[in-house]
Structure 1
Amino acid sequence: MTAYRPAPAERPRILVVDDDPINRLVARILIEARGYEVIEAEDGEAALAAYAETSDIGLVLMDLAMPGMDGLTAARNLRSTSRRGATVPIVALTRHIDDNSRRNCFDAGMNGFLPKPISAAGIESIVCLVGHGAYRAHHA
Structure 2
Amino acid sequence: MEQLKILVVDDESRMRKLVKDFLVKKDFAVIEAEDGEKAIDIFFADKDISLVILDVMMPKMDGWQVCREIRAYSQVPIIMLTAKSDERDELLGFELGVDEYISKPFSPKILVARVEAILRRTNGFAADDVLKAGAIEVNKAAHEVRIDGKSVDLSYKEFELLTYFIENQGLALSREKILNSVWNYDYFGDARTIDTHVKKLRSKLGDKGDYIKTIWGMGYKFEVED
Q: TM-score range by the shorter chain?
A: 0.7 to 0.9
Aligned partners of 1:15 and 1:88: how far apart in 2?
11
Paired residue for 2:105?
A: 117
Q: Does structure 2 conserve the Cα–Cα contact (< 8 Å) formed by 1:97 and 1:115? A: yes
Report which of the two structures shows the higher radius of gyration computed on alpha carbons.
2
Shift, 1:139, TM fit? 8.8
Shift of 1:117: 2.6
Superposed displacement of residue 106, structure 1: 1.3
**CA pair 139-55 structure 1, distance change in 2 beyond 3 A:** farther
Structure 2: stretches of 5+ with no match in the other structure? 126-139, 143-226
What are the equivalent positions in structure 2 for 1:1-140 lying under 5 Å apart? 8-9=1-2, 11-80=3-72, 82=73, 85=74, 87-135=75-123, 140=142
123-132 vs 42-51, which moves further: 123-132
* Structure 1 residue 115: Cα displacement: 2.3
CA contact 2:18–2:108 (8 Å) conserved in 1: no
> In the aligned structure 2, how far is the partner of 1:46 from the partner of 1:135?
27
Q: Following the alignment from structure 1 to structure 2, what is the Cα–Cα distance between the partners of residues 139 and 64?
A: 31
Cα distance in structure 1, aligned partners of 2:13 and 2:141: 30
Aligned residue pairs total 128
Calculate the TM-score normalised by the size of structure 1: 0.82
Q: Percent same amino acid at aligned positions?
A: 32
Q: Which runs of 5+ in 1 are unaligned?
A: 1-7
2:212 corresponds in structure 1 to none
AA paired with 1:48? I
Quote the RMSD (CA, aligned, Å).
Answer: 2.0
CA contact (8 A) 1:27 1:118 kept: no
| Cα pair distance change 1:51/1:44, threshold 3 Å | same
Higher deviation after alignment, 18-27 or 115-124: 115-124
Give the C-alpha shift of residue 135 in structure 1.
4.2
Q: 1:24 aligns to what SS in structure 2?
A: helix
Segment of structure 1 superposing worse, 91-100 or 54-63: 91-100
Q: How far 1:131 sits from its partner (Å)?
A: 3.4
Give TM-score scaled by structure 2 length: 0.52
